[in-house]
Amino acid sequence: MLNRNCNRENDVLRAVASAYIDDDIRSHIASCASCADLLAVASAVADDRRTLIREATIPSSGLVWWRANMRARQQARRVVVRTATLIQIALIALAIVVAIVVLGATPPPIDYRPLLTIPVFAFVAWLILAPVAVYFTVTED
């Protein structure tokens, strides 16, 4: 039966990674079928890795710059669209509130003033900060 859990597998992998197999490891591989299989597979993977590294092409600096520039533009575009969507949602909510007030719908006789303090403050802060956020996302520096 094949021993699949040899204690020297890490030594075999280190030897393959360093591309140097000493006599001690070599004699162990000759006596251990599991390590012999591991050596065959790891050597093939290491050879493929070396070949791929040798044949890898490095893109030109212009192409790298163009890709980075396009990525930055797409990211800025996403931020602007997200901000515009939030503004549209807020404006729709505001339009609904104005429509309810204009149509004369009366809220139930519950005192909402303590509950509205924080949302009103947050809405006012958002109205002040949203144009600033749009300005910083749209400007190109």
Query: Does residue 2 lie in a domain region?
Result: no
Question: Which residue, chain included where needed, has tokens 């549209």?
Answer: 88
Question: How does residue 1 score in pLDDT terms, banded at 50, 70 and 90?
Answer: very low
Residues 68 and 30 both lie in one domain: no
- 7-18 pLDDT, tens digit per residue, is 888 888 999 888
What tokens were used for 100?
């309810």
What is residue 113's predicted lDDT score, i.e. its pLDDT? 67
Q: pLDDT over 70 for what percent of the chain? A: 87
Average pLDDT for 55-64: 90
Q: Are 9 and 34 in contact (CB under 8 A)?
A: yes
3-state secondary structure 51-77: HHHHHCCCCCHHHHHHHHHHHHHHHHH
Nearest to 26 by CA among 44, 43, 12, 38: 12
Residues 75 and 100 both lie in one domain: yes
Task: Read off the pTM.
Answer: 0.41
Q: Rounded distance, CA 10 to CA 42, Å? A: 11
Instruction: Answer with the residue of higher pLDDT: 1 or 46.
Output: 46
Number of domains in the chain: 2
- 98-119 pLDDT, tens digit per residue, is 877 777 766 567 666 666 677 7
For residue 49, the enclosing domain spans: 9-55
Residues 134 and 66 both lie in one domain: yes
What is residue 108's predicted lDDT score, i.e. its pLDDT? 63
> What are the Cα distances from residue 43, in Å, to 35, 63, 67, 109, 125?
12, 35, 36, 81, 63
- 67-94 pLDDT, tens digit per residue, is 999 999 999 999 998 888 888 888 888 8
